[in-house]
């Protein structure tokens, strides 16, 4: 996903590109926009620029990096999204249980809604959750060194589905992430995210 593939939002694209070029990348950002506004595609395009910008554009190293991001399989790009139990996962579900489903879903429908995502898993009659188990995985994952020596990026989609216990558990990470770690929280309803998390993120509003 390149910035050129994100529909509209020229002002936001320009802002995000400049933040990288000027070396002023906020460690925690909140992308706020309704379904269809392009928050997830923009986050992936931004992650791609961050992860691959240390390579010369068009070089073999750059193309290899870009290909990994396009497949949502770059080792320093991590995703968290609402999940629930299913035929596949009977208890304590976390995002990593559904990573192949996620890659397939985003590749086919990057502007898809939460309902579309849950429907793709066959659990549209359940609530999508981001649980405390997920928070433990996030902390463990981001405490490790980056595989490729650059940024580590976490895209947390539909962050309003974190319960309070989950949000409190990752609060310290949002306040003081490890070096060159960027957290991109995406939400359709920022008021459902606890104030202590929101206040520590730089907010970007996505108009329709």
pLDDT, tens digit only, all 208 positions of the chain: 888 888 888 999 999 999 999 989 999 999 999 999 999 999 999 999 999 988 888 899 999 999 999 999 999 999 999 999 999 999 999 999 999 999 999 999 999 999 999 999 999 999 999 999 999 999 999 999 999 889 999 999 999 999 999 999 999 999 998 989 999 999 999 999 999 999 999 999 999 8
61: which residues sit within 8 A by CB, 6+ positions away? 55
Task: Please spell the DSSP secondary structure of the chain, one letter per residue.
Answer: --GGGS-S-HHHHHHHHHHHHTT---SEEEEE--TTS-HHHHHHHHHHHHHHTTSPTTSHHHHHHHHHHHTT--TTEEEE--B---SS--SS--GGGGHHHHHHHHHH-TT--HHHHHHHTT-TTS--BB-HHHHHHHHHHHHSPPSSSS-EEEEETTGGGB-HHHHHHHHHHHHSPPTTEEEEEEES-GGGS-HHHHTTSEEEE---
Q: How far apart are CA 60 and CA 64, in angstroms?
A: 6
pLDDT of residue 142: 93
- pTM attached to this predicted model: 0.95
* Cβ–Cβ under 8 Å, residues 155 and 77: yes
Distance CA 28, CA 199 (A): 10
Give Cβ neighbours of residue 190 (< 8 Å, ≥ 6 apart): 30, 32, 160, 198, 203
Residue recorded with tokens 């066959």: 122
Paired tokens of 172: 């310290």
């Amino acid at each position: 996903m390149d910035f050129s593939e994100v529909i509209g939002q020229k002002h936001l694209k320009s802002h995000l590109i400049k933040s990288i070029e000027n070396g002023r990348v906020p460690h925690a950002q909140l992308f706020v926009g309704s379904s269809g506004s392009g928050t997830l595609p923009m986050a992936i395009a931004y992650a791609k620029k961050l992860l691959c910008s240390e390579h010369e554009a068009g070089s073999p190293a750059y193309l290899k990096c870009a290909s990994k991001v396009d497949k949502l399989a770059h080792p320093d790009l991590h995703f968290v999204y609402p999940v629930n139990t299913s035929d596949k996962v009977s208890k304590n579900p976390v995002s990593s249980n559904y990573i192949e489903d996620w890659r397939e879903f985003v590749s086919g429908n990057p502007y898809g809604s939460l309902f579309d995502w849950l429907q793709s898993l066959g659990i549209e009659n359940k609530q999508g959750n981001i649980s405390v188990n997920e928070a433990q995985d996030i902390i463990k994952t981001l405490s490790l060194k980056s595989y490729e020596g650059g940024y580590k990026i976490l895209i947390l989609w539909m962050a309003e589905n974190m319960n309070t216990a989950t949000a409190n558990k990752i609060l310290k990470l949002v306040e003081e992430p490890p070096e060159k770690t960027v957290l991109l929280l995406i939400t359709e309803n920022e008021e459902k995210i606890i104030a202590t998390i929101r206040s520590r993120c730089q907010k970007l509003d996505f108009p329709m």
